[in-house]
Amino acid sequence: MSSVRLFFALSSLIGLRLTHGDVPNAYMKGLLHELIYMKSPRELGVEAGKVLKLLKPLYGLKQSVRCWNGTMNENIITLGFINSRLDPCIYYKRGKKERVMFLGLYVDDVLIAFHDEEELHDVTLNLEERYSIKMLGPVKKFLGIAVHETSRSNYLSRA
């Protein structure tokens, strides 16, 4: 949660606008880098004694969070963002007009702080194509925190 507070503080300090999105079924969009086999659920009707080789992470698998985070991290970096040394959940980049843009990642929830609509569009288009992210517009509520955005600051309160 400290990552989220830091994100809002930075965006407010610089005077950036906020938007956010949600990645549906995020864990299953990660890349699995190891061999994992599992027993077949009865509901699949697979012959008894057979096992299944996982091709993608599943919810409930210990590795799923790491697979998703690694996959998303790689994509964010290919978009030109740099992972913050202060907080691994916050990324930043300088845009075409030398204006900074922040991206915050909290599991499958994405926060974006921006100046330029065109640059925001480029980033969200990539995320929509790769992960079917659902962009939710200006941030009114995030992780149970009510957000009131003004031209000078962000006010946070418990929702």
Domain locations along the chain: 2-158
Least confident of 22-31, 66-75, 95-104, 141-150: 141-150
Class of domain 2-158: alpha beta
Contacting residues for 45 by C-beta, under 8 A, at least 6 apart: none
Residue 43 pLDDT: 84
The confidence band for 45, taking pLDDT boundaries of 50, 70 and 90, is confident
Residue 159, pLDDT > 70, answer no
Residue 42, pLDDT > 90, answer no
Amino acid at 37: Y
Are 68 and 108 a contacting pair, CB within 8 Å? yes
**Residues 53-59, mean pLDDT to the nearest whole number:** 90
> CA 62, CA 73: separation in Å to the nearest integer?
18
Residue 60, pLDDT > 90, answer no
